[in-house]
Amino acid sequence: MGEKVLMKGNEAIGEAAIRSGCRHFFGYPITPQTELSAYMVKKMPKIGGVFLQAESEVAAINMVYGAAAAGVRAMTSSSSPGISLKSEGISYLAAGDLPCVIVNIVRGGPGLGGIQPAQSDYFQATRGGGHGDYHLIVLAPNSVQELVYLTADAFNLSDEYRIPVMLLGDGTLGQMMEPVDFDSIPEPVYAEKPWAATGTENKRDKNVIETLFLEATELEERVLEREKKYDVVKEKLQRYEAHNTDDADIIISSYGITSRVVETAVKILRDEGIKAGVIRPITLWPFPEKIYKQVKPKAFLSVEMSTGQMVEDIRLACECSAPVYFCGRTGGVIPTPDEVVQKVKDILKEVK
Amino acid sequence: MEKRIHIFSGHFGSGKTEVALNYAVKEREKGKKVTIIDFDIVNPYFRTNDARKMLNEKGIKLIANSYASSNLDMPTVPLNLLSVFDDNDTVAVFDVGGDDDGALALGQYRKYFEKHGYQMHFVVNTKRPLTERAEDFLEMANRIETASRLKFTDIYNNTNLSVQTDENTLFSNYEEIEKLSRKMGIKTARNCGTRAALSNVPKKLKETVFEMKIYIPKPWEIQ
């Protein structure tokens, strides 16, 4: 383990991105993710990188398109309403098979919503978000240290599969301070990018990153080709953390910061002799569905800072082997461990 | 002479909010009237206002921007702030967040601070990236002093790694703080930490110990 420092989640993403070889960051301020831009503006000029504050979220995501098309590691970040603005550009990035990392530090919605932490962008993140047949790889860290690891993974995975990766955090994770070390961060694995528009030097045919196809069959072919890639990702990339599942009467799922609340709740429940287990999805897309088919609880519970968006994925993953309940708060409110404990007790009365 | 107005300032992440809260509680426990001012015009959460309940229970008056911890993201200063300068029998504790941007807003009250006298404490944490060496702190101190047009009067060493702080953390980079102290010409008045963090304080520094409790827990921490 290396030297530890104390960092805000947003700053830690910035440092992790830099250590992962990102030298192109296109930002636009929005609470609660602005410290990421603030960190990049301080650090990028010192290391020969580019920090550019765009005139809007839309401009920033299209700058990412340009940088990614030129084959460099590029990043942008925002929070919920800003991600909605970026959605058109994200769809284009997916269509161009361009590697990049998009950070969403989620706040309450819909609409302008609020600045307090939320997880109500789950549907938007895991279903693509913009128009067309596509997916993003979606990673959901639950601590500042994991934020660092997954930022590094995000760049590597994006390069490997040529799929844009979204790092999905929430306001608490972005704003809170935790000790981190950077020495244990995964090494950058750079992919060859023979497709990148880097200049032909009159030695090869030109590379074009295109998202418009004149023949319907040609577009269909491209989409289906990409679909095969998604199948590989679904097979290979399901990540989760699970514990106490073998004897569990109830398995509680939550991702990101809410899982910290759940850990406290499970400790209380186990101390009282209640058999509660945990499956914490780390990849939200692909959803870690395999593990849900291997467990046999009497009930599942999804705890979220939304009205229960992950419930659907758990239901699909467990193939209705047990009922899936929901417990959560939304609009910027964080559920307490006590609320989760109470909900579990109520459910276990129902399912016996 | 001990002044009744105390300003806590420093880089974000130095822990100045917890230090300011602890200072306010300690003064209150001596039987004094205490007012704490949430003077953070930048950060949306993890701020003095989050300790409202505890402050109420202890009888410490809180002055905060009416939109603090709400969804209105507006850099405003509290309306009733000037009242602390009139309450001559009250210890006033300012928690100034937002680095030099926050300090700039504070500067508008300079004439009141100078009239009533003040101490401005520089809270430092050497475990923060970008502020690890004496030179980094000096630059930050200069920026805050220039923005606020006020002068730091002493240093509070609050070097910590949050929950991973151990008995060696607080003094792990102390030579940088001593260097800072020499360069600024002010002393390191306090070495701060929870009881566990303070178990290894050298004898000659015993008098500087400032034992803290954590008043703003994370949402999943049971108090």
Each residue's pLDDT tens digit, B145-163: 999 999 999 999 999 999 9
Q: Is A260's CB within 8 Å of B218's CB?
A: yes
3-state secondary structure of B77: coil
The answer, yes or no, to whether ipTM is higher than 0.85 is yes
Distance CA A303, CA A321 (A): 19
Please tell me which residue of chain A has the smallest CA distance to B164.
Answer: A179
Q: Is B46's CB within 8 Å of A175's CB?
A: yes
Q: Is A11's CB within 8 Å of B164's CB?
A: no
Where residue B1 falls among pLDDT bands split at 50, 70, 90? low
Task: Report if residue B138 sits inside a domain.
Answer: yes
Q: A37-42: long-range contacts (C-beta < 8 A, 24 or more apart)?
A: A37/A77, A38/A11, A39/A10, A39/A11, A39/A14, A39/A15, A40/A14, A42/B130
User: Structural domain of residue B162, as residue ranges?
Assistant: 14-211
Task: Report if residue B44 sits inside a domain.
Answer: yes
Please tell me which residue of chain A has the smallest CA distance to B169.
Answer: A4
Which residues from chain A sit within 8 angstroms of residue B173, using beta carbons?
none
Q: Side-chain half-sphere of B16: how many Cα atoms within 13 Å? A: 28
Q: Taking the CB of residue A186, how many other CB atoms lie within 10 A of it? A: 16
Low-confidence ranges of chain A (pLDDT < 70): 1-2
Both tokens assigned to A259: 């899982």
B103: domain CATH number is 3.40.50.300
Distance CA B138, CA B182 (A): 11
Task: Report if residue B3 sits inside a domain.
Answer: no
Q: What is the average pLDDT value for chain B, to the nearest integer?
A: 93
Please tell me which residue of chain A has the smallest CA distance to B12.
Answer: A8
- Give residue A320's pLDDT: 93
Query: Using an 8 Å Cβ cutoff, are B183 and B138 in contact?
Result: yes
Task: Tell me whether B223 touches chain A (CB under 8 Å).
Answer: no
Both tokens assigned to A288: 């870690």
Query: Using an 8 Å Cβ cutoff, are B122 and B190 in contact?
Result: no
All structural domains of chain A: 5-200+224-236 (3.40.50.970), 241-351 (3.40.50.920)
CA nearest to B123, candidates B148, B157, B78, B94: B157
For residues A229, A231, A233, A234, the Cα torsion angle rounded to the nearest 10 degrees is 160
Q: How many angstroms away from the CA of A61 is the closest CA of chain B?
A: 24
Residues of A with CB under 8 A from a CB of B: 4-8, 11, 15, 31-32, 42, 108, 113-117, 171-172, 175-179, 257, 260-261, 263-264, 268, 332, 334, 336-337
Q: How far is CA A171 from CA A3, A106, A139, A144, B163, in A?
A: 26, 6, 16, 12, 20
Where residue B223 falls among pLDDT bands split at 50, 70, 90? low
Which of A11, A115, A263 is facing B44, going by the closest CB pair? A115
**Rg for chain B (alpha carbons), in Å?**
16
What's the longest Cα–Cα distance across chain B? 48
Tell me which of A177, A339, A340, A341 to substitute to probe the interface with B (most B C-beta atoms closer than 10 Å). Answer: A177
Query: Using an 8 Å Cβ cutoff, are B128 and A6 in contact?
Result: yes
- Give residue A1's pLDDT: 47
What domain count does chain B have? 1
Distance CA B48, CA A272 (A): 35
Is the confidence at residue B35, as pLDDT, over 90?
yes
3-state secondary structure of A219: helix
Task: Report if residue B106 sits inside a domain.
Answer: yes
Task: Report if residue B169 sits inside a domain.
Answer: yes
3-state secondary structure of A122: helix
pLDDT digits (tens, 9 = 90+) for B40-99: 888 877 889 899 999 999 999 999 988 888 888 778 888 889 999 999 999 999 999 878
Task: Report if residue B223 sits inside a domain.
Answer: no
